[in-house]
């Protein structure tokens, strides 16, 4: 219980500004009495050293059919999310990523191709390879352009899930640059006035460097990720008004209705609280990520499952800006602004504060994984024949017998578009 409450609180306080697909929390969803007990009982988390966890995940991905270099990159993207308190985009996805590679749904050997490159603009084709591989190429290109031209604006098509949007913006942030990272996703948002899912959870991520500080926004353009709806369902609680709609597009506080036939509201909720703005922002992300690049757009993006029968063809957009091209002293001004906001009466945070707290804890105590995720990862490594020596001690000590059937056996129905 305390775990769920912690998860929920973390999410509610903005720690998990994540754009999540149902597979994520479904993974955590107890399907047996044993796992229910595990979730509600005592030691529901384990902590694993960052590098050991990354090595294990990379070993799994390599066994599933990608190159050592790509495996290492993808592992670092997934572990980054867990370190930041965004478990929805963390190593719990390793299982699904591996299945996609094994079934050839994603080409683990593919290298992205720069299809167009002129001045500060470029288009990268991911060739249906790993989303992280395509994104790494694109963000580096955008960084290089920003360094020489002030701005780099690179879009991707033919890509797949790229992990937490923040990972990519952070590459530029580390070099003192301001960066935007966007992606479209499988549809989960029901547009204002509509009744069908037609827009992804489409994150907007922006990071900007400040003196000894930074601004780090990473948010879905839906009110909440589907995972939060599923957590409320597990707790047997009704949803707060404004999170979801039923199959007819009507306001709905029943989690099951929202997950199965309904969908998520845009940020803002229903019309009276300006949900049409979040819908407009969701569409903006489609325009930047998919319309500019020629990727699949909105309602045409397939559901993210193993039965999709065609490439996801996701689109991303990375915009990198060198703030030194503008008024001198950007870093100092932003630092002062962030400090001023934190100093306001009350409990005012700035975007990125909760994630930094998680990162400090992960660095000190190891990356925190939900026990079920840890067990699944251990089972995945065994199934793929990963050398047992690569299994970190905290995972090796776990009783993995309670691990449920694989995600691929279970998912599908809830993910299907209405």
Within residues 293-352, the interface with its own copies by CB under 8 A covers: 293-294, 297-300, 321-323, 325-330, 333-334, 337, 340-341, 344-351
Q: Are 315 and 184 in contact (CB under 8 A)?
A: yes
Among 40, 277, 308, 410, binds its own copies (CB under 8 A): 277
Binding of its own copies at residue 271 (CB under 8 A)?
yes
Binding of its own copies at residue 188 (CB under 8 A)?
no
Among 196, 361, 384, 406, binds its own copies (CB under 8 A): 196
Nearest to 213 by CA among 316, 339, 317: 339
Among 4, 121, 361, 384, binds its own copies (CB under 8 A): 121
Binding of its own copies at residue 206 (CB under 8 A)?
yes
- What's the rounded Cα separation, in Å, for the pair 188 and 299? 10
Q: Using CB under 8 A, which residues numbered 363 to 382 contact its own copies?
A: none
Binding of its own copies at residue 238 (CB under 8 A)?
no
- Phi/psi-derived region of residue 68, left when phi > 0, alpha when psi is between -120 and 50, beta in every other case: alpha
Nearest to 15 by CA among 107, 84, 62: 84
Binding of its own copies at residue 17 (CB under 8 A)?
yes
Binding of its own copies at residue 123 (CB under 8 A)?
yes
Helix, strand, or coil here: 209? Answer: strand
- What's the rounded Cα separation, in Å, for the pair 253 and 318? 36
- What's the rounded Cα separation, in Å, for the pair 362 and 297? 36
Q: Are 211 and 295 in contact (CB under 8 A)?
A: no
DSSP 290: I
- What's the rounded Cα separation, in Å, for the pair 256 and 24? 16
Residue 104 token pair: 């050839």
Toward its own copies, which CB reaches closer, 178 or 259? 178
Size of the site for its own copies (CB under 8 A): 84
- Phi/psi-derived region of residue 283, left when phi > 0, alpha when psi is between -120 and 50, beta in every other case: alpha
Binding segment toward its own copies, per CB under 8 A, in 24-32, 61-69, 291-299, 390-398: 291-299
Toward its own copies, which CB reaches closer, 206 or 377? 206
Binding segment toward its own copies, per CB under 8 A, in 41-49, 163-171, 186-194, 405-413: 186-194
Q: Are 342 and 350 in contact (CB under 8 A)?
A: yes
Among 26, 157, 316, 375, binds its own copies (CB under 8 A): 157
Binding of its own copies at residue 358 (CB under 8 A)?
no
Toward its own copies, which CB reaches closer, 9 or 363? 9
Site string for its own copies, 60-99 (x = CB under 8 A): ----------------------------------------
Binding segment toward its own copies, per CB under 8 A, in 20-28, 62-70, 272-280, 381-389: 272-280
Among 131, 268, 366, 394, binds its own copies (CB under 8 A): 268
- What's the rounded Cα separation, in Å, for the pair 146 and 213? 21
């Amino acid at each position: 219980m305390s775990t769920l409450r912690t998860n929920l609180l973390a999410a509610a306080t903005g720690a998990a500004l994540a754009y999540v697909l149902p597979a994520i929390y479904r993974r955590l969803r107890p399907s047996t009495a044993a796992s229910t007990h595990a979730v509600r009982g005592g030691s529901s988390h384990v902590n694993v050293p960052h590098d050991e966890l990354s090595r294990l995940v990379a070993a799994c991905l390599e066994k599933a059919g990608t190159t050592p270099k790509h495996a290492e990159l993808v592992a670092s993207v997934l572990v980054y999310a867990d370190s930041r308190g965004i478990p929805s985009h963390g190593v719990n996805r390793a299982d699904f990523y591996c299945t996609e590679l094994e079934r050839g749904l994603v080409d683990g050997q593919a290298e992205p191709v720069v299809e167009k490159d002129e001045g500060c603009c470029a288009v990268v084709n991911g060739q249906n390879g790993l989303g992280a591989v395509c994104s790494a190429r694109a963000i580096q290109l955008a960084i290089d352009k920003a360094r020489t031209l002030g701005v780099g604006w690179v879009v991707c098509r033919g890509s797949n899930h790229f992990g937490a949007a923040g990972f990519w913006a952070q590459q530029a942030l580390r070099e003192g640059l301001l960066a935007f990272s966007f992606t479209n996703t499988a549809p989960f948002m029901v547009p204002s006035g509509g009744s069908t899912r037609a827009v992804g959870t489409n994150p907007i991520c922006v990071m900007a460097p400040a003196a000894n500080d930074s601004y780090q926004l990473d948010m879905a353009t839906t009110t909440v990720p589907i995972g939060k709806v599923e957590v409320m369902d597990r707790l047997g609680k009704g949803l707060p008004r404004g999170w979801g709609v039923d199959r007819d597009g009507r306001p709905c506080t029943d989690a099951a209705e929202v997950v199965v036939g309904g969908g998520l509201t845009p940020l803002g909720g229903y019309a009276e609280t300006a949900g049409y703005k979040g819908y407009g922002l969701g569409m903006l992300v489609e325009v930047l990520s998919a319309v500019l690049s020629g990727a699949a757009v909105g309602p045409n993006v397939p559901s993210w499952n193993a039965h999709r029968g065609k490439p996801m063809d996701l689109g991303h957009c990375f915009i990198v800006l060198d703030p030194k091209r503008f008024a001198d002293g950007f870093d100092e001004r932003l630092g002062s602004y962030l400090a001023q906001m934190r100093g306001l009466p009350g409990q005012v945070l700035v975007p990125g504060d909760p994630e930094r707290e998680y990162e400090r804890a992960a660095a000190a105590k190891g990356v925190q994984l939900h026990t079920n995720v840890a067990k699944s990862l251990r089972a995945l490594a065994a199934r793929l024949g990963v050398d047992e020596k690569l299994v970190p001690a905290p995972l090796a000590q776990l009783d993995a017998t309670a691990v449920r059937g694989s995600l691929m056996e279970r998912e599908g129905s809830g993910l299907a578009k209405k």
